[in-house]
Amino acid sequence: QKRMKGISVTRPLIYGNIANPLTGKKAAESDHTHKWTVCVRGVNGEDVSYFIKKVQFRLHETYSNPLRTIEQPPFEVNETGWGEFEINIKIYFHPLAGEKPVQVYHHLRLHPYEDDGSGQPWPKNRPVVSYNYDEIVFNEPTEAFYQILSEN
């Protein structure tokens, strides 16, 4: 694969989680306290599947099948649980990219760590969110991948 000397292409990404307390029957039936979603997505709802082909989320070993492989958008995992932990997120690119997967880590956040400055406690029904903005830089992309990136 021929590469484009001296060129880099950058794509923004968001990864992270939202969490809500479990209520009612579900909470009573187990020791789980929260439902949460961890995701990798584009900015402003951009569909990133033209360059991202697969995302693997490695959850804590207390989960059954901790390695969750998502091969189409939305690249996300919905779960319930009782604790926070580090999620290893491995992002795989289009086969024509000739790029190794990129790994990021996300600390799954279930609890608000700080108040919002209002002096009031965190409202029970307000979701906790923890998202990171990141930029993936493709240095000297292959010609085929450059084409794919610039058409989108």
Binding site for ligand SLL (CB under 6 A): 60, 62-63, 81-85
Q: Please say which residue, 84 or 134, places its beta carbon nearer to ligand SLL.
A: 84
Q: In what order do the strands lie in the sheet with 75-81?
A: 75-81, 34-41, 8-21, 128-139
The backbone torsions φ and ψ at residue 4, rounded to the nearest 5 degrees and listed phi first, read: -90, 100
Nearest-approach distance from CB 28 to ligand SLL, in angstroms = 16
Residue number, 54 or 60, with CB nearest to ligand SLL: 60
Q: How far is the CB of 68 from ligand SLL (least distance, A)?
A: 12
Residue with Cβ nearer ligand SLL (64 or 125): 64
Cβ-Cβ contacts under 8 Å for 48 (sequence gap 6 or more): 11, 13, 40, 41, 42, 73, 75
Q: Where are the alpha helices (DSSP H) in the chain?
A: 24-29, 143-151
Q: Which is nearer to ligand SLL, 13 or 77 (CB)?
A: 77
C-beta of 31 vs 114, nearer to ligand SLL: 31
Cβ 34 to ligand SLL shortest distance, Å: 8
One-letter amino acid identity for 69?
T
Residues in CB range of 28: below 8 A, 6 or more apart: none
- How many helices (H) and strands (E) are present in the chain, helices listed first? 2, 8
